[in-house]
Amino acid sequence: MNLIDGKAISAKCKNETAEEIKAIVAKGMRAPCLAVILVGEDPASQVYVRNKKRACESVGITSLEYLLDENETEEKLLELIDFLNKDDNVDGILVQMPVPKQIDPDRVIEAISPDKDVDAFHAYNVGKLFTGAPRFQPCTPAGVMRLLSESGVEISGKNCVVVGRSNIVGKPMGALLLAENGTVTICHSRTNNLPEVTRTADILVAACGRPNMITADMVKDGAVLIDVGINRVGDKLVGDIDFEACKEKASFITPVPGGVGPMTIAILMQNTLTSYKMRFGL
C-alpha cells in the first residue's frame, strides 16, 4: 500500500503557482486577485475561507474577503457580485457554499461572470468541461487528477468508479476521468447493488459524504482508493472510505485529513492565476 501525500503534492502545486506569480510581479504587473464571499457564520465554511485567504497570501495572490450577515438578502449579494464582475482588478470570485436558505445558490452561481468563475461552477464552464475545452478546472476533481498523475497512476482504459453525483465533485470528476480515457461509472444513493459495482473499480473515488461507507468487501485487490469525504465523527475527521479496513487491499490510498483536502485550494490558486493570464492575454 502506498499512501498518497496530499499535503506534499499540494505544496508542490502551490509552489509552481507562486513561482509564476513572482515572475509576473517582477515585471511590474499587479498581482492576481481573488474575492471570497462568505454569507453567515457556518464554522466549517469559516475554516475554508480562512484557509483560502492564507493560501492566497502564501502564493502572492491578493485576497479580498467579504463577510456578509447570515440574514443578508439575495439581492444584496447579487449586487456585490455585479460590482466585483465589473472590477478590472478582480480576477476570481468565489461564494462559499452552502449559502443560507433565503439565497438561491443557482442564481448566485449564474451571476458570477464565467470569466471570473474560479470554482468552475457556472453552466458555461461546466459545458466547456464536458465538451473537452475547459478554462477553469473544477477544484476538487482536478486536485484528485493531480494526486493520480503525481502517483504515476495510469487512467486510460481503467475502470473508474465515482460514488456520489454532486455538481461540485461527482459529475465533474467523471468528466475529468473520461477526458483521460477512463471507463467511468458514476454511482449514487439509488444505485442497485453498489458493492458489485465498486468491486469493478481499478480507481475508486468516494464522494458521497457518508463516514466509512466504503468497506473492505466493496474494494478490489490492488485498487487505487481516493477519498473525497470529510466527515466529523465525534472529535475526529473521517473519510467516506473505511481507511483501516481498506488500506491493505489498496495499491494507493489517500488519508483523511491530508489527502484530497489540501488539493482543492491549490487548484483554486492555479485557477485564479489562469483567470489573470486570460485577462492579460498571457
Nearer to ligand GUN, 10 or 264 (CB): 264
Q: Does residue 260 belong to the site contacting ligand GUN (CB under 6 A)?
A: no
User: What span, in angstroms and rounded, lies between the C-alpha atoms of 154 and 222?
Assistant: 13
Nearest Cα neighbor of 204 from 248, 259, 162, 146 is 162
Helix (H, G, I), strand (E, B) or coil at 11: helix
Provide, rounded to whole angstroms, the least separation between the CB of residue 12 and ligand GUN. 20
Question: Is 106 noted as a catalytic residue in this protein?
Answer: no
Q: Are strands 224-227 and 203-206 parallel, antiparallel or unpaired?
A: parallel
User: What span, in angstroms and rounded, lies between the C-alpha atoms of 43 and 231?
Assistant: 14
Nearer to ligand GUN, 5 or 119 (CB): 119
Residue nearest to ligand GUN (CB): 97
Provide, rounded to whole angstroms, the least separation between the CB of residue 91 and ligand GUN. 15
The site for ligand GUN, by CB under 6 A, has a size of 9
Q: Which three cell numbers stand for residue 90?
A: 478582480
Distances (CA, A) of 28 to 8, 23, 24, 153: 31, 9, 7, 40
Nearer to ligand GUN, 13 or 168 (CB): 168
Cβ atoms of residues 144 and 263 within 8 Å: yes
107 Cβ neighbours under 8 A, 6+ residues apart: 74, 78
Nearer to ligand GUN, 94 or 223 (CB): 94
Q: Does residue 168 belong to the site contacting ligand GUN (CB under 6 A)?
A: yes
Binding mask 75-114 for ligand GUN (x = CB under 6 A): -------------------xxxx-----------------
Binding mask 210-249 for ligand GUN (x = CB under 6 A): ----------------------------------------
Q: Does residue 119 belong to the site contacting ligand GUN (CB under 6 A)?
A: yes
Residue 43 DSSP class? H
Of 17, 212, 254, 264, which one interacts with ligand GUN (CB under 6 A)?
Answer: 264
User: What span, in angstroms and rounded, lies between the C-alpha atoms of 259 and 253?
Assistant: 9
Q: What is the DSSP code string of 94-110?
A: EEPSSPPTTS-HHHHHH
Question: Is 96 noted as a catalytic residue in this protein?
Answer: yes
Of 108, 112, 139, 173, which one interacts with ligand GUN (CB under 6 A)?
Answer: 139
- Bridge partners of 204, per DSSP, are 161, 225
Nearer to ligand GUN, 153 or 168 (CB): 168
Residue 128 DSSP class? H
**Pick the catalytic residue: 5, 117, 119, 227?**
119
**Pick the catalytic residue: 96, 115, 158, 220?**
96
**Pick the catalytic residue: 5, 14, 52, 270?**
52
Distances (CA, A) of 104 to 71, 81, 98, 123, 210: 13, 14, 10, 15, 25
Binding site for ligand GUN (CB under 6 A): 94-97, 119, 139-140, 168, 264
Positions marked catalytic: 52, 96, 119
